[in-house]
Amino acid sequence: MSIESGRHRLGPDNADLTLRTERAGAAAKAGHDLVIRVTSWEAELLLGEGPADTSLELTADATSLRVVEGTGGMQALADDDIANIHKTIDDEILMRQDITFRSTLVEIEPDRGRIHVEGDLTLVARTEPIAFDIVIGNGGSLSAAAVVKQTVWGMKPYSALFGALKVKDEVLVVLEGHL
């Protein structure tokens, strides 16, 4: 595995950025675990000669999140259920505010096929630190995952049925694609 120096652009054309939510609560069987794709986003991974020349930046349109899979539940997700989920995300959770990430530290470990990234994630106008690893595979494939705990960013996880059905606080963010 080799990581070439230079600018590497990522977006929906060469990578998938998804969120994976899980349900909780006494009525969890009624809800669905969701896979939500971010359909409008861009990232730039700049790999320089040293840490000062290396960075990762990402911007995502918060209104571009689309449910692509719902598992579990008492019945399959209907089109109106999906439309309601999109509206709730836009109006109550992310409030139509763009999502940004700016690295503060990027450490390349080519012998391990890994890039360690630390930085600042901004959700709903609140910025908090987060860290994750990008794994680089053969042929330039890449994958990364990070857990975002909604309450750390001041977001209240969605709940219904007087709290008997809720989305777990931890949301898994997954990036898969090619450099």
Q: Domain ranges in the chain?
A: 6-178
Q: What global pTM score does this model have?
A: 0.93
Q: 6-178: which CATH topology?
A: Lipocalin (2.40.128)
CB 15 within 8 A of CB 44: no
pLDDT at 162: 81
Arithmetic mean of pLDDT, 72-78: 90
Arithmetic mean of pLDDT, 124-149: 94
CA atoms 13, 134, 106, 120: torsion sign: positive
pLDDT at 2: 62
Instruction: Round to whole Å and give the CA distance between 133 and 113.
Output: 10
Q: Which two tokens stand for residue 30?
A: 């009624």
The set of residues, in sequence order, having a beta carbon less than 8 Å from that of 171 and lying 6+ positions away, is 19, 20, 21, 147, 148, 149, 150
Least confident of 36-40, 110-114, 120-124, 169-173: 110-114
Among 39-53, 86-100, 104-118, the range with the most confident prediction by mean pLDDT is 86-100
3-state secondary structure of 92: helix
Least confident of 3-7, 20-24, 119-123, 166-170: 3-7
Least confident of 5-9, 23-27, 53-57, 153-157: 23-27
CB 178 within 8 A of CB 139: yes
pLDDT at 111: 73
The set of residues, in sequence order, having a beta carbon less than 8 Å from that of 114 and lying 6+ positions away, is 133, 134, 135, 136
Please give the backbone phi and psi of residue 158, each rounded to the nearest 5 degrees, phi first: -60, 140
Least confident of 20-29, 105-114, 138-147: 105-114
Asked if pLDDT for residue 91 goes beyond 90, the answer is yes
Instruction: Round to whole Å and give the CA distance between 119 and 144.
Output: 14
